[in-house]
Chains A and B, each alone.
Chain A
Amino acid sequence: MSDRIVDGVRKHTPSILLFFDESPFSLLWLWLSTEKRKQIKSEKIGIILYIAMASPGGQGGGAVSTRGAGARRMKWALELSLGNARGRGDRQSNQGDVMYPIGYSDKPVPDTSIQETDKNLVEKRCWDVALGPLKQIPMNLFIMYMSGNTISIFPIMMVCMMAWRPIQALMSMSATFKLLENSNQQWLQGLVYSVGNLLGSALAIYKCQSMGLLPTHSSDWLAFIEPPQRMEIMGGGMVL
């Protein structure tokens, strides 16, 4: 998992923060710099693009599916030899309109790494899955910090996402357990996984609390107080 942040900072223009995540919950997030954000009018927020690309299968599923897909692994290699041009032309004629990037080689590069099929690797993968939610927490904390406590559409969407993901993951526990069934420490991993998710949801709740979205104050119930009933009827005035 790698987080890369591309920060196109320019004063007085919206800077773009790109959170790019290789995990299934990968989101491309255009965001205005915090200073500018304070003056956003809610109507104008529509120009901001928010694209979240989440593949089904929940947490860490990407890594597992790669493994499940089998042995064929490809790696990018730069082919800098000049004699390649003709071959590429051949390919184009063969496969129609598929364009390959510069440096792409048709021949598979031999995978020189040692193919480990022993239990350790399975174990490691399973731990990856189990620790996935916990690993998310620092990033969530960072996002929480960045988004601030104002109630506007972005923080709300964030909080919803943060709260919904662990719940979704917890609901699909059985699928996760199926993934972990090859492991020896299945139960421990399952426990860690659920604890991580619970921590994630706790974080979301904490965020809600700090944003003031939880009805924990008396003011939140003010609208439901009925006007008290009058016990006496009174009237009158100046003598006409």
Chain B
Amino acid sequence: MYPPSLVVTFTKKSSVKMAKLTSLFVISLSFFCISEAVFEDQVGKFDWRQQYVGKTLFAHFESNTQSSKKMFVATDKNIFASFNSRTGDLLWRHVDKTGPEGSIDILLLHGQDALMVVGDGRLLRSWDTNIGGLNWEAVLDTGSFQAACFVAIQDTVKLVAVLKKAALSLHYLSNGHQKWVENLPDSDAVQYQAVYSGGEEEVYVLGVVPNSHLTIIAYSLEDGEIIKQRSVEASWLSSVESSCVVVGQGVLMCVDPATLALYTLPIQAEETPEFSQILLQSLDLEVSPGFQPVLVSSQPHPARSPLSEFFLQLGPDHHVLLQLNADGYTIAPLRDFQPAFLVSFATTGKKTVAAVMTPKNETACAINLFSVDSGRRLLDTTVLFPLELNGGKPHALYVHAFLKKDDSVGYRVLVQTQDHALTFIQQPGRVVWTREEALADVVTMEMVDLPLTGTQAELEGEFGKKADGLFPMVLKRLSSQVTLLQAWLAHLWKLFYEARKPRGQVKNEVTIETLSRDEFNLQKMMVMVTASGKLFGIDSKSGSILWKHYLENVQPNAAFKLIVQRTTAHFPHPPQCTLLIKDKDTGLATLHVFNPIFGRKSHIALPALPRPILQSLLLPVIDQDYAKVLLLVDDQYKVTAFPSTKNVLQQLQEMASSIFFYLIRSDQGNLSGFRLRKDLSTERIWEVVLPTEVQKIVAVKGKRPNEHVHSQGRVMGDRSVLYKYLNPNLLAVVTESTDTHPERAFVGVFLVDGVTGRIIHEAVQRKARGPVHFVHSENWVVYEYWNTKSRRNEFSVLELFEGTELYNSTVFSSLDRPHLPQVLQQTYIFPSPITTMEATLTEKGITSRHLLVGLPSGAILSLPKMFLDPRRPEVVTEHSREENLIPYAPEMPIRTEWFINYNQTVARVKGIYTAPSGLESTCLVVAYGLDIYQTRVYPSKQFDVLKDDYDYVLISSVLFALFFATMISKRLAQVKLLNRAWR
């Protein structure tokens, strides 16, 4: 809150015109609103950003020389990016549209060009890999994408062939122009799945009629004419894509899991009308039960035919290197790899090698290179890949092979693990870098205070213990003071020691062991839960990952809820977080209880949860170990308590009548409230049904439990108080109409009391549609929607007041509230769509609030709540000036200095998390989406700390100078007095 004296400087006597007053007011206001932005030298001081790309789908290395540094990835987040393979930093990144519209179907790399098919065959793009610029983009005909490959004419790659469901098209590599496009014959019945070019004058398309026959069509490169077309009987074949590869001189190799046999067929030759069968048994090979065998082949250069060697995977950890003999019918096994997790081919120059990853021991895997021709192991090519204890298993292997100076093959390897992490390893076995790409999809997060240091904890412990006599307590106090003094001296010594070093060298390596709370609790532990099921503990100050824990067996669509059950405040009990993971398919939930500081799983007896869990509820009730009690509600509305000690159950029985919970079923449009019974069953006490034919419930938000409201009311211009309606049980329920016609669409906001089910207020915004973003805090709800009539984004704010008198100032009970609150509402035009919204949060709630708005541009706007105040007057009066109310203006400004992340844009902001710090002025902010950005905001500026550029030297030198001047002049005055006395 700004001191009123500074803003309101008008007196009654001054008879200045109203317009002048208003302008003055706005000027004085803008004076307080500026200087939000950071200064140039503060960049990166309190904030950091980490950029991610997501789960890698395709990865390629630039070229096969030892000095090349670039690698390219295309990911499931529709991102095409380039890494510096020495450091793992992003060189450039292209973020495409989300969803299927921007999905990357395939990434092909040839020389300087990266070819990409985007959006299920919608676009064909070519990128310059040096600078990441777009060479060209071609719009493809409709039809779902099947396959693509490079086509070479006379040993130079000039074309790219794209196979769609019903058409084949050829494009020039240089400019993207279409050479020709041909419709595929009989495309309704035949599923065309593969396209192959071996450097000849033809391009072959392979299609299959499942369990009937295979169709091979050869097109002329020149004009797209069908040269030949034939079909081969293959009743066992269901998919070319999953079970066939081309090896050797154009031989189609297929594997049939049913008959356990390999089938070969020369594609070009006309004389062989059918597949020749080779039983795996005849090669002494055996497939693991229930495993679908997979073939892996390699075509090192598009102008030449593929290698005649190929891998056959027979089990989860069993691979065989096979060779197709020159006759095209017989197969010779080269080497059996068991156990072997992953295999990959890599080519450099004329040499092609196979990299095989085999488990070595519990903590590491070994990667070796093998000569493809002979299957012999190459010497000195072993690389160790460290397996983390709580990490994912290796998932894919990308090998960058190159020729060393002595003509031997060297390589670096990129290993992708199941938890989406990328690890780049150099040959002696050194991990060059690791990227935790799971962080590109953070689902939920919490910030946990760091523990106190040992000495601090000791002091805390002293107060916690029972008194054992006066004298021992004095002794104990003295000893702890001495230890504190020691720690302080050590700290001073460290400061002095480090001050002598040049600035760049002083780098405080943050490790889990050295973690401790700082003076103002500005450094916290960020616990992040990602969609892949990997948990991270990140230091909020530096952004370094301090621990990670991968939860296996987490379904991709699982719902997560992270709960802090015990904070760090209860030494010696460790802090405790609980992650509720609900499997969407079965509805069953599991709990993962861990220590948020160290990431270790706690060995606590977990409750058995045999029934699907609907919701959870964290009570402020604590057990004897200071852990808050978590209630889990199952589909029979029975409640399970965790922890469920006797003490807790007794407390629950006593409090049962005052524990309520609500459940919202969006699919049924049903809101219902329940009350806990003493036997931990529940009774339904209210129900509100919003008919699903008309509108559907999109979201619901209560108030944040850790929110403090300092001021219970607002001071009016006449110095009376308008008391806020601070109902802790209030829920804001947002609905959207099912009718999306611009004239009839609407957005509804219902304020419902969660205990009684009473609808406190309903606001329906006609001619509006979602997505609705909203914040519910204190006594206000701010929501944003799209106005279909005026075609613009609008912010609307609802504020609830109790009136000028409090009904009951000591206790708040929803059951005893006879009067409805007064509701004020105002709406503003916002010049940009938004992606997410959150309000700042401070320790005591004294600091004024700001809204943090994530924009699609990646900027995060810190919008003062002052601008979203339904009491903003249309006509300025004496009273409204006294209250510092800004006159109403329909347009909401976006000032660039309000962007808290200056040029550090956060791609695809999904959520913003705010947490209070130990300083009342400071709120910690984490924006997550594709990137993670952490910073601090000061909504009322830093009123409780000295400025960053405070001139300590000047002030202290002036003080000392004055002190000495006083001393000297005192002495001089004495001398003078003495002299005068003598005269």
Contacts and interface: CB of A to CB of B under 8 A. Distances in A.
A218 B721 contact: yes
Contact of A229 (B633, B660, B810): B810
Contacts of B655: 233
23 contacts: A34-B11, A38-B10, A40-B9, A149-B11, A151-B4, A152-B5, A217-B719, A217-B721, A220-B719, A223-B711, A227-B726, A229-B810, A229-B812, A230-B812, A231-B658, A231-B812, A231-B815, A234-B662, A236-B617, A237-B662, A238-B697, A240-B613, A240-B616
B716 A219 contact: yes
B559 interface: yes
Contacts of A231: 658, 811-815
A212 interface: yes
A146 B308 CA distance: 103
B664 A228 contact: no
A233 B13 contact: no
B9 A232 contact: no
Contacts of B619: 233, 235
Interface residues of A, number: 34
B664 A238 contact: yes
B814 A232 contact: yes
Contacts of A225: 712-713, 806, 809
A232 B11 CA distance: 48
B810 A228 contact: yes
B665 interface: yes
B840 interface: no
Contacts of A233: 619-621, 655, 658-660
* Chain B interface category by residue count: 35 or more
Contacts of B815: 231-232
A150 interface: yes
B663 interface: yes
B811 A38 contact: no
B728 interface: yes
A236 B715 contact: no
B614 interface: yes
Interface of B: 4-6, 8-14, 559, 561, 580, 582, 589, 613-621, 631, 633, 655, 658-666, 697, 699-700, 702, 708-713, 715-716, 719-721, 726, 728-729, 754-755, 804, 806, 808-815
Contacts of B697: 238
Contacts, number: 141
Contacts of A218: 720-721, 804
A149 B341 CA distance: 83
Nearest to B618: A235
Contacts of A40: 9
Of the candidates B580, B633, B712, B726, the one having the most CB atoms from chain A within 10 angstroms of its own CB is: B712
Contacts of B729: 232, 234
Contact of B582 (A42, A229, A235, A240): A240
Nearest to A217: B719
Contacts of B13: 34, 148
A78 interface: no
A113 interface: no
Interface in A25-44: 34-35, 38-40, 42
Given A149-B11, A231-B812, A236 B662 contact: yes
A71 interface: no
B660 A234 contact: yes
Given A230-B728, A232-B813, A237 B755 contact: no
Given A225-B806, A234-B702, 16 more contacts: A38-B10, A38-B14, A42-B5, A149-B11, A220-B719, A230-B728, A231-B814, A232-B658, A232-B659, A235-B661, A235-B662, A236-B633, A236-B754, A237-B700, A239-B664, A240-B589
Contacts of A226: 810
Contacts of A232: 658-660, 729, 755, 813-815
B559 A240 contact: yes
Nearest to B810: A228
A40 B5 CA distance: 11
B756 to A, nearest CB: 9
Contacts of A102: none
B712 A240 contact: no
Given A42-B5, A234-B754, A237-B664, A228 B812 contact: yes
A39 B659 contact: no
Given A219-B720, A234-B754, A236-B754, A35 B14 contact: yes
A222 interface: yes
A34 B10 CA distance: 11
B11 A235 contact: no
Nearest to A224: B712
Nearest to A233: B659
A212 B719 contact: yes
Contacts of B621: 233
Contacts of A237: 615, 662-664, 700, 702
Contacts of B713: 219, 222, 225
Contacts of B814: 231-232, 234
Given A222-B715, A229-B811, A236 B14 contact: no
Contact of B666 (A39, A222, A238): A238
Given A38-B11, A219-B720, A231-B812, A240 B561 contact: yes
A240 B716 contact: no
Contacts of A240: 559, 561, 580, 582, 589, 613-616
A217 B720 contact: yes
Interface string A206-220: 000000100001111
Contacts of A35: 14
Contacts of B708: 227
B712 A222 contact: yes
A222 B582 contact: no
Interface string A149-160: 111100000000
Contacts of A220: 719
Interface in A142-198: 148-152
A32 to B, nearest CB: 13
Contacts of A151: 4-5
A151 B8 CA distance: 10
Nearest to B587: A240
B754 to A, nearest CB: 5
Contacts of B806: 225
B12 to A, nearest CB: 7
A187 B559 CA distance: 89
Contacts of A229: 810-812
A66 B24 CA distance: 53
A234 B618 CA distance: 9
A127 B754 CA distance: 75
B5 A234 contact: no
Contacts of A239: 614-615, 663-666
Given A228-B808, A240-B559, A222 B10 contact: no
Nearest to A239: B614
B712 A227 contact: yes
A151 B663 CA distance: 52
A223 B716 CA distance: 14
A166 B679 CA distance: 72
A99 B73 CA distance: 95
The 9 closest A-B pairs by CB, nearest first: A235-B617, A231-B813, A236-B661, A236-B662, A217-B719, A219-B715, A228-B812, A148-B11, A151-B5
A34 B580 CA distance: 66
A42 B8 CA distance: 12
Contacts of A227: 708-709, 712, 726
Of the candidates B12, B615, B808, the one having the most CB atoms from chain A within 10 angstroms of its own CB is: B615
Contacts of B5: 42, 150-152
A222 B804 CA distance: 12
Nearest to B659: A233
Contacts of B589: 240
B618 A222 contact: no
Contacts of A150: 5, 8-9, 11
A141 B561 CA distance: 67
A240 B581 CA distance: 10
Nearest to A146: B13
